[in-house]
Amino acid sequence: MTEQQLKILLGKKILVTGGAGFIGSNLCEVLLNHNIKIVCLDNFSTGKQTNIAPFLNNDNFKLIEGDIRNLDDCHKACVDIDYVLHQAALGSVPRSINDPITTNDVNVSGFLNMLVAARDAGVKRFIYAASSSTYGDHKALPKVEDTIGKPLSPYAITKYVNELYADIFYSTYKLDTIGLRYFNVFGKRQDPNGAYAAVIPKFVQQFVSHESPVINGDGSYSRDFTYIDNVVQMNINALTVDNKEALNTVYNVAYGERTTLIELATLLKEYLSEFDSVIGNIEIKHRDNRIGDIPHSLASIDKAKQLLNYNPKYNISSGLKEAVNWYWKNLK
């Protein structure tokens, strides 16, 4: 993203749903740092007050505590909004397996509410968080946007349904949308606590606490881990692109390299041991694979490079170093 792109957004008002969450709060921070007006809609079910505390005294920031499952809240949040960055969702494959109804209520019904509210408010563009889980059981690597398989979890179904609804809202109501299929995003403000914590902050917290991280399976499963700053760049590119061919489609958001879980744990151990030498001697343990997990994930980012001028700056190594520095300061 460039200063010129951010200047395009000056004077515009952007709604960030789930703005108190991990990705949402990072988006809010970058946009606010460039004097762009932000409305944050969050019910704090997974988002945190601490994530947005630095923004509350900013005149360009408005918080609406509400739930995307409530259509009135969605309409209220969309008043005078130019663009929507829809990040609100219930993530986690295991959570969706344990409670498919709530996952569907938030991710499908809530998503539809937001589309309706955006349509009714005359929003110019609706950018939404899609998911690499949509590729399901499709085995070919790298993952290319127009070829998917069968979903492997209720969560994956909900994210695919989002894409179908977005497509219908363009063809029926001419609401411009862009879906961003996130691949294993990590970085500052990602919560290490709770049963459904993402693997990187969870491993970091375990190492910092001198506990052994536990890998599901033998560690050979691999992911295209994507640092948060790459994701912020992609969202801003999607907001500001003026090529009509780039709209009303979906894009992979990743770095385009895959890292095994054992490689990931080893890198974290190495980087954290620079702060605490004891961590270098901590054993990495293993247990059975989880239901619904895909073995390997790797994105093609050619489409995003071509149509959205995507140029990710952080690979797994440089991203982990940034994340580890942040966690070391904030987990102590």
> Active-site residue numbers?
155
Cα gap 72→66, rounded to integer Å: 9
Cα gap 43→70, rounded to integer Å: 11
Q: How many CB atoms lie within 10 A of CB 94?
A: 15
Bridge partners, residue 178, by sequence:
127, 249
Give which of 323, 130, 155 is closest to 238, Cα–Cα.
130
Please count the CA atoms within 13 angstroms of the CA of 45 that sit on its side-chain side.
16
Q: What are phi and psi of 188, to 5 degrees?
A: -60, 145
Cα gap 226→229, rounded to integer Å: 9
Q: Would you mind telling me the total number of residues written for the chain in this entry?
A: 332
Residue 306 contacts by C-beta under 8 Å, 6 or more apart in sequence? Answer: none
DSSP codes, 8-74: HTTT-EEEEETTTSHHHHHHHHHHHTTT-EEEEEE--SSS-HHHHGGGTT-TTEEEEE--TTSHHHH
Cα gap 38→27, rounded to integer Å: 10
What are the counts of helices (DSSP H) followed by strands (DSSP E) for the chain?
13, 13
